[in-house]
Amino acid sequence: MARRRRGRCGRCGRCGRRGRCGRGALLACAAWTAGWVLAAALLLRAHPGVRSERCTDEKSRRILAALCQEYQGGVLVGDLCEDLCVAGQLRYQRCLYYERGKKVLQATWRGRPIILKSKEEAFSSFQPLSLPEDAAEEGGPDALEAELHLLVAGEVRNALGLELSGGSLGPLWPGRRGGGRRGQLASLWALLQQEEFVLFSLLQDLSRHALPVLGSCGHFYAVEYLAAGSPRHRALFPLEGAAGVPRGGRGQARAVSDMALSFLDMVSHFEDDFAHRLHLCDVKPENFAIRSDFTVVAIDVDMAFFEPKMREILEQNCTGDEDCNFFDCFSKCDLRVNKCGAERVNSNLQVSSSHHVGWGTLFSGAATAFCAVAPRSCGLVTPSMPLRLDVLSGGRDWWRGRWSFLPVACPYGLLANDQQWGSNGWSGLLSQCWVPHLFLMYYFSKLKFY
């Protein structure tokens, strides 16, 4: 009994009164709950897509029904409206996703699979166009067109940081056919408030790595349907079941190498082939797809910016480098003035090869697949070997002997030391393993490391 009493007293000594123990447990529970709430808030802030609303067929059909109702009332127009709302040639298939207001739907248009996109659900969600009432009366259609061009140029400048050249709206207005003037202008203005539509429209005749705009109806625009990459697969674009790809062997190796080379071509193209560099600030598998000829295509460019807009975005106040990170585009904080530098310090290639596993799998897969069917040609293959750029570039002084990690598979026996390059050079690499050779040649001749 005495021992039992001491035990009770010991418990009382540790807790004090029972009420104090209860309050302690309550405080611990409250702290635990607050911790989870804080963690959830941080997750939502870091990944806004988590807050995305549920994507349903019922709601998607209601959205398109409202679109057709406004078309029939003359509020909006577009070259796809007749097929969608009257002829039944454009048929809804399924909802792909809703994200931060953006609606992405799959449909078929005259037997062809397409994607319907809009930044907002309702036409009324877009800022209405305001033109001077007397523009058409004083100068007629030409004056109205000139006024509209000024507004369009301003919107393109605001969205992309680019100056719209020439006096024509050109590819920015695919939906002029049909409808009244008021509906045409309202529909055009809703489309121009969507940065992705503007970028796709401007690039469609300039780049095979961007989706062409096929048409529009009101605030929805249509693009080519391509199966996107997936972060759930080890490979960036799984080839199992893909059309035209043989199972295993040289055919599959060639398909993988074609995709890798196309991706490198896209990176080089976005870096060098426009008046301003195009920065990709959200590099992830689901934002890219491949065509049947293995061309890699950017299918979601909401976070793609030309150099002038990129500088404007990066140049913000800061207290450290972490304040200068805009998704995958990084800058550095100048602590003397507490301002981020306008110059991006990483490149599209560095982003794709660093923290996205699928890209490395794609590049290394080309060489390893080839070596699997021709092992004597390649010897020992190891991905992401550190390479001396001054050696591999054949003495080009613009590399300045810098080092870099390349997301490709490299034959270790050839690249491990400098001496073998003295006798064999590029021809030795070409004769022993042609796929890595193509990758390396492409890197050294086209791409820049910063």
List pLDDT tens digits, range 368-403.
444 444 443 343 333 333 333 322 333 333 333 333
Q: What is the pLDDT of residue 68?
A: 98
Average pLDDT over residues 119-130: 94
269: pLDDT strictly greater than 60 = yes
192: pLDDT strictly greater than 70 = yes
Q: What is the pLDDT of residue 51?
A: 46
307: pLDDT strictly greater than 50 = yes
Q: What is the pLDDT of residue 354?
A: 65
> Would you place residue 141 in the very low, low, confident or very high pLDDT band (cuts 50, 70, 90)?
low
Q: What is the pLDDT of residue 6?
A: 45
Q: What is the pLDDT of residue 316?
A: 95
Q: What is the pLDDT of residue 285?
A: 86
Q: What is the pLDDT of residue 154?
A: 83
**Tokens encoding 213:** 């705009």
28: pLDDT strictly greater than 70 = no
Identify the residue whose tokens are 């019922």: 58
Q: What is the pLDDT of residue 433?
A: 37
Q: What is the pTM of this model?
A: 0.70
Cα–Cα dist 246/251, whole Å: 5
Residue 231: count other Cβ atoms within 10 Å of its Cβ.
Answer: 11
21: pLDDT strictly greater than 80 = no
Q: What is the pLDDT of residue 209?
A: 96
> Would you place residue 22 in the very low, low, confident or very high pLDDT band (cuts 50, 70, 90)?
low
Which DSSP string do the residues of 3-64 spell out, in sequence order?
A: HHHHHHHHHHHHHSSHHHHHHHHHHHHHHHHHHHHHHHHHHHHH-GGGGPPP--HHHHHHHH
Lowest-confidence pick of 183-187, 199-203, 387-391, 422-426: 387-391
Spatial CB neighbours of 313, under 8 Å, sequence gap ≥ 6: 305, 326, 329
> Would you place residue 140 in the very low, low, confident or very high pLDDT band (cuts 50, 70, 90)?
low
Q: What is the pLDDT of residue 38?
A: 55
Each residue's pLDDT tens digit, 336-369? 999 999 999 999 888 876 654 455 555 554 444 4
Average pLDDT over residues 422-426: 39
Mean residue pLDDT of the chain comes to 72
Q: What is the pLDDT of residue 266?
A: 93
Higher pLDDT, 262 or 251: 262
226: pLDDT strictly greater than 90 = yes
Cα–Cα dist 346/328, whole Å: 9
Single-letter amino acid code for the residue at 71: Y
* Nearest alpha carbon to residue 449 among 384, 403, 383: 403
Which DSSP string do the residues of 74-100 spell out, in sequence order?
A: TS---TTHHIIIII--EEEEEEEEEET
The answer to whether the beta carbons of residues 360 and 439 sit under 8 Å apart is no
